[in-house]
Amino acid sequence: MEKAICFMFLPTTKQELKNWGWDRLDVILVSGDAYIDSSYSGVAVIGRVLQKAGYRVGIIAQPDMDSGEDISRLGAPRLFWGITSGCVDSMVANYTALGKKIKQDDFTPGGVNDRRPDRAVIAYTNLVRRYFKETAPIVLGGVEASLRRVSHYDFKSKSIRRSILFDAKADVLVYGMGEKAVLELAAALDKGEDWRNIRGICFADKAKPEGFLEPPSHQAVSKDKAQFSEMFRAFQENQDPETARGFCQLQDTRYLIHNPPQPLPGAEELDGFYELDYQRDAHPYYAEQGPVRALDTIRFSLTTHRGCFGQCNFCAITAHQGARVHCRTEASILREAERITALPGFKGYIADVGGPTANMFGSACKKQGGPGACAHKRCLWPKPCPNLVFGHDKQMALLRKLGALPGVKKAFVASGIRYDLILADGKQGAAYLRQILKDHTSGQMKIAPEHAVDPVLHFMGKPGGEGLERFKEMFDALESRLGKKQFLTYYFMAAHPGCTLNHMRSLSKYVQEKLRTRPQQVQIFTPTPSTYSTLMYYTGKNPFDGKPVFVEKNPPAKQDQKDALTGPAPKPKSRPADKRHRKGRRRG
């Protein structure tokens, strides 16, 4: 029985290697998350994609940093080590916007945040080097590596750090959703061929490739905010696979060589990534250490697409998944749903059908497949582009078919929904919202206006506040006609660059008078690498016009902004001290 269970997952222990009959792995993947064998886990996707291509792959999740026991248990790989912090940047996973340690981690067995080291990509690379002096190349990947691949502002240290490739002293960095690049890299390493021209990777070299752009050096950008802004623009303007040029940035005596992105996978290719033999569960080695809470939301969920053309200034999705939405086929999603219905514990409810933004499924630009994304124009800001073709009809049809599958009682849409897309779709928007409210919510619908004061929304790259009122009117009218008790859940943000305490007070008044609620889903802006909002936070200037921007950097003042909307958090009730404890303290 143990052997059968182990064959269902990629190996993670020495005993499993014996069960597979393997004496050595081609690739070992190291992750800051527990090993969840799911398409929602990047390390599992890369592992399964490599496995399908014929490579022997193992996973070491959350290795102990104080010994070599974990990192050494599978030996050394033949081709390469793959290092990732997990599904979240480790500094975002470990610290709040006010710099406090986060106690909970949904990707750690038991839920206590004590297994993911700070700067996990660097820490794990050092761990490998410590116990394997001469070993296969080390390849970085995942969100942390992707967002920190060039010189970047680091919120924790309040400094400009080098590319994480250099600080980790790794050999290669794969950025973005890395399936295609990893397959090409594995094939090149296996054949002993040159891999330096593979798209979607970064590496270090003393020579500059011919024809590559050269933004300001790390030394220059670390001392001059104007130079940092120039470098950042070059980085942002070379993300589209159709138009991007490679660039090289001098980091020390060597250059960071940043090849252009990989072409986006076609629909059938994307289907293949999501229809691999995932077990949708935590590997038994990790499951026995405690429940992994992330499984509560992803075990019975479906990903329909990747990418987001919302391009909010504070969001890093564009830098990792891209600004174009690319979708799976309806047939593939339905096949995956049928497999979900056969899983143990499935009670008829698909928890989520969506992606970074649920109602972008099926949407596209009329120019898609042509010259690439518009260089100086956004799809949704300041208002939806007339070239945008909405996909609400396609998602409605998909949801109806999912709901009609044998064994499915409900297919929920729990991912965030862009209400401005619904308002802009004069043909299907109202019908889409009606279907969502009638059949695909569990009583709450999530939207993320982030703010409602226009000057702040301008800095966020979000639509104006008047649309939120129109949407609420539409929502309330439909809810009344349907006779169902439904709620809108609003996500707001405090202390974003350009936001003052008075702006938050105005937002509080707006929320109480217009939305008639007091929201609790309020986060304080966290500067994360590779976003325009973080560029504003660091430079104090609007990168699009060069004008000064107010930036709140004082932690208590940031909390005041949040409290203006939510009210101050209740103070914990004091309990009478235990008399024996007090007596003991006096003696000590």
Task: Confirm if 327 and 307 have CB atoms less than 8 A apart.
Answer: no
Give a yes or no: residue 350 inside a domain. Answer: no
Q: What is the pLDDT of residue 579?
A: 36
The answer for residues whose C-beta is within 8 angstroms of residue 563's C-beta and 6 or more apart is 569
* pLDDT interval class at 370 (50, 70, 90): low
Provide the whole-model pTM.
0.94
Annotated binding site for [4Fe-4S] cluster: 308, 312, 315
Higher pLDDT, 570 or 240: 240
Q: What are phi and psi of 491, to 5 degrees?
A: -105, 125
Structural domain harbouring 510 = 459-483+490-569
Q: What is the pLDDT of residue 377?
A: 78
Tokens of 279: 């077990």
Closest Cα partner for 221 from 258, 250, 254? 250
Q: How far is CA 185 from the centre of its chain?
A: 23
DSSP secondary structure, 312-371, as one string:
-TT--HHHHT-SS-EE--HHHHHHHHHHHHTSTT--SEE-EEESSSGGGTT-EETTTTSS
Tokens of 117: 């080291």
Domain boundary among 201, 219, 252: 201
Domain boundary among 201, 227, 245: 201
Burial (CB count within 10 angstroms: exposed 0-12, middle 13-18, buried 19+), residue 573: exposed
pLDDT above 80 for 7: no
Q: What is the pLDDT of residue 578?
A: 38
Give a yes or no: residue 71 inside a domain. Answer: yes
- The whole-chain average pLDDT of the chain stands at 93
| Least confident segment among 206-215, 297-306, 438-447, 578-587 | 578-587
Annotated binding site: 308, 312, 315
**CATH classification of the domain holding 195:** 3.40.50.280
Give a yes or no: residue 31 inside a domain. Answer: yes
**Mean pLDDT across the stretch 21-30?**
97
pLDDT above 50 for 364: yes
Give a yes or no: residue 401 inside a domain. Answer: no
**What's the residue count for the chain?**
588
Give a yes or no: residue 260 inside a domain. Answer: no
Domains contained in the chain, number = 2
Q: What is the pLDDT of residue 14?
A: 94
pLDDT above 50 for 116: yes
Angle at 513 between CA 509 and CA 515, to 5 degrees: 105
Angle at 51 between CA 49 and CA 55, to 5 degrees: 120
Domain boundary among 173, 201, 229: 201
Calpha distance 216→225 (Å, rounded): 11
**CATH classification of the domain holding 506:** 3.30.750
Which element (helix H / strand E) includes 282? strand 281-282
pLDDT above 90 for 172: yes
Q: How far is CA 311 from the centre of its chain?
A: 14
